[in-house]
Amino acid sequence: MKPTTLLAIEHPLAADLITRFPADEATLQVSIVKATKTADGSESKAPALKPPLKWAGGKRWLLPFLQPLWLPHSSRRYVDPFCGGLAIPLGLRPKTALLNDINPHLINFYVTLQRGLNVNIRMKNDEASFYVQRTRFNELVRRRRWQSAEAAQLFYY
Ligand SMILES: C[S@@+](CC[C@H](N)C(=O)[O-])C[C@H]1O[C@@H](n2cnc3c(N)ncnc32)[C@H](O)[C@@H]1O
């Protein structure tokens, strides 16, 4: 696997991505909204967003320490070579970001999410469903069709 998967987000995804995840197997709604502006034209302080995935090694707990360090540089582009679960960019909400991860399935999930991901696979939380969906995911990988919306849904599940 080539370690070159790149997700370049030069528009404010990190600042503007709002995700809503239903508890059950319904539809995953994703919308991208514009940053809110105050009356004087300045951008309002955006609260941290919750990462869309649970990710091993997530750094949400670091945010209170990173925020004061980031603030004086917040007009700069945020670059994260190991973005993982996006805890830091969604917490700091930079205007522009360059995000990278070696995991191509993770990047495919984010790219699909950015386009607008509708979940139409069965997401039942039981053993039998898990093995059916895992087999399908592995089949897509084997057939080199992992860069697809279906693979993104299966990865999320
Ligand atoms: C501990 S996680 C990052 C967690 C992230 N900061 C967060 O808060 O969610 C480390 C990430 O680095 C990625 N990674 C590991 N080796 C890498 C490499 N050589 N190049 C790019 N990404 C890599 C992994 O796929 C994983 O998603």
Ligand 1, atom 20, residue with closest C-alpha: 102
57 C-beta closer than 6 A to ligand 1: yes
Ligand 1 centroid distance, CA of 128 (Å): 30
**Cα(151)–Cα(100) distance, rounded to whole angstroms?**
19
Handedness of CA 69, 71, 76, 79 (dihedral sign): positive
Closest C-alpha among 82, 99, 89, 95 to residue 62:
89
102 C-beta closer than 6 A to ligand 1: yes
Write the DSSP symbol of residue 35: P
Residues 6 or more apart whose Cβ sits within 8 Å of residue 116: 30, 31
Q: What pLDDT, on the 0 to 100 scale, is given for residue 41?
A: 56
116 C-beta closer than 6 A to ligand 1: no
**Cα(12)–Cα(97) distance, rounded to whole angstroms?**
7
**Cα(132)–Cα(128) distance, rounded to whole angstroms?**
6
Exposure string over 92-121, b if 16+ CB within 10 A, otherwise e:
bbbbbbbbbbebbbbbbbbbbbeeebebeb
Q: Which atom of ligand 1 is nearest to the CA of 101?
A: 22
pLDDT in tens, the chain (157 residues): 333 333 443 333 433 433 333 333 333 333 333 344 556 655 556 788 888 898 999 899 999 999 999 999 999 999 999 999 999 999 999 999 999 999 999 999 999 998 988 888 989 999 999 999 999 999 999 999 999 999 999 999 9
Chain position carrying tokens 């059950």: 24
